[in-house]
Amino acid sequence: MSDAATQIKEKITDNDVVLFMKGTKEMPQCGFSSRVAGVLNYMGVEFSDVNVLADDAVRQGIKDFSDWPTIPQLYVKGEFVGGCDIITEMTMSGELDTLLAENDVAFDKDAADKIREANG
């Protein structure tokens, strides 16, 4: 396993929720990363962010690791969940709420409901 793959594996093993993104959760550097980070932040989900722009090996490594070609990528309890479109769909359908609840990840249900109301 490459150094990047080892770093990625450790990150998703050591943290319940990890978002590999362009930029940081405080300062996203692309619209797709901003959308997913915004949803997680608004819902009060504690998550670790990994700025793929800071390390080209991790930027390519996460794509190889998940066999998914785009960034951002969300992991919950070590499992790849999806990118921006999938997370958006899951948020709107309530599937993200279910996934978080089933994995004992704390989140604000009222905030999740507000997202659905505002975008429904």
**Which CATH number does the domain 3-115 belong to among 3.40.50.150, 3.40.30.10, 3.40.47.10, 3.30.230.10?**
3.40.30.10
CB count within 10 Å of CB 76 equals 21
Whether this prediction's pTM lies above 0.85 is answered by: yes
Tell me the domain boundaries of the chain: 3-115
Bridge partners of 48?
Answer: 18
Please list the pLDDT of the chain residue by residue as tens digits (120 residues).
679 999 999 999 999 999 999 999 999 999 999 999 999 999 999 999 999 999 999 999 999 999 999 999 999 999 999 999 999 999 999 999 999 999 999 999 999 999 999 997
In angstroms, the CA 13 to CA 90 distance is 23
Which residues are CB-neighbours of 25 under 8 A, at least 6 positions away? 19, 37, 40, 41, 47, 49
